[in-house]
Amino acid sequence: MFLSAFYFPGEDAEFDFRLSLKTTYDQSVYPYGVLPKIGLNEMFFRPITILYGGNGSGKSTVLNVIAEKLRLLRTSAYNRSRFFESFVDQCKASLDEAVPMNSRILTSDDVFDMMLDIRAVNGGIDRKREELVDDYYALKREKFQVKSLDDFEHLHRVNQARSKTQSRFVESESGQSLRERSNGESALMYFQGKIEMDTLCLLDEPENSLSPENQLILADFLSESVRYCGNQLVISTHSPFLLALPGAKIIDLDNHSRVAERWTDLKNPRVYYDFFKKHADEFEN
């Protein structure tokens, strides 16, 4: 445990802030106005703490505020306003231990940006392969003689083209494409590579892009990273596979930020359960 508690400004402080602005209280003063609506004034943490709630419930806002207050590493930009720093300044964090330097916040935007980078690399490889096909046939037809030591590299390419098939020549000179893994597999490897031992990690809906099978693999990885690697996790999620993490404390933002007694009582898992129960005969037959 690194982070034991976090305190937000609260309704009174937010009211004083509105008075100081002498303006109407609307979305333009984000993140003010978000958390009082869901009754979230303070959070107390366990090794795994989960924020559950529907779209727009404030899960990402909470994680971004905590990440900024603790100055965690982050990759992608996030939604903020000119009032964000003022809000963060009024927050307080209680620590059991100093937050390690490699602690970070990981979001679905980080994963999507990584996938776009892979797509760009693959696009460059494809263009290079098209050029190499033309090179292959030109080299095979070329009548080339060595005139100096500088010519030996080109002679090697000529010999490679003459001794190999087109596909082998192109593959040997183009580099390996990154598209061998699916988006879900790449996303899973991203989380496994970014979460280091003995760190505090905030994860914003990490199930995005993951199949149910990979969500289960991620859930096992996260559970083991806490149990064996000394990590503390704060996760926002809709995924029943992550909500079922053993020993997790679940804060239900849809229910005035009350702590959920059982993950099976939450709306999302109940939707899945009711759906499969309705179609039970189809599975059994």
The rounded distance, in Å, linking the Cα atoms of 160 and 168 is 9
Cis link prior to 246 (omega < 30° from 0)?
no
Instruction: Check residues 175 and 248 and name the one with the higher pLDDT.
Output: 248
Backbone dihedral region for residue 133 (phi beyond 0: left; psi -120 to 50: alpha; all else: beta)? alpha
The rounded distance, in Å, linking the Cα atoms of 69 and 62 is 11
**What is the per-residue pLDDT across 63-112, written as a single tens digit (0 to 9) for each?**
999 999 999 999 877 777 788 998 999 999 999 999 999 999 998 788 77
| Residue 164, pLDDT score | 76
**Which among 263, 234, 260 is positioned nearest to 4, based on CA atoms?**
234
| Residue 83, pLDDT score | 87
Kindly state the tokens that stand for 142. 């070329």
**What is the per-residue pLDDT across 38-72, written as a single tens digit (0 to 9) for each?**
999 999 999 999 999 988 889 999 999 999 999 99
Torsion (CA) 83, 108, 203, 60 in degrees, nearest 10? 30
Kind of pairing between the strands at 249-252 and 258-259: antiparallel
For residue 57, what is the DSSP state? S
Helix (H, G, I), strand (E, B) or coil at 4: strand
Number of Cβ atoms within 10 Å of the Cβ of 230: 14
Are 253 and 53 spatial neighbours (Cβ–Cβ below 8 Å)? yes
96 burial type by CB count under 10 A (0-12 exposed, 13-18 middle, 19+ buried): exposed
Are 23 and 15 spatial neighbours (Cβ–Cβ below 8 Å)? no
- Residue reference for tokens 């991620």: 218
Q: Which helix (H) or strand (E) segment is 42 a member of? A: strand 42-44
> Would the pLDDT of 282 be above 90?
yes
The rounded distance, in Å, linking the Cα atoms of 225 and 230 is 7
Instruction: Check residues 121 and 282 and name the one with the higher pLDDT.
Output: 282
CATH topology of domain 3-110+183-284: Rossmann fold (3.40.50)
Which residues of the chain are in CATH 3.40.50 domains?
Answer: 3-110+183-284
Residue ranges of alpha helices (H) inside 36-107 are 59-70, 84-89
Are 140 and 162 spatial neighbours (Cβ–Cβ below 8 Å)? yes
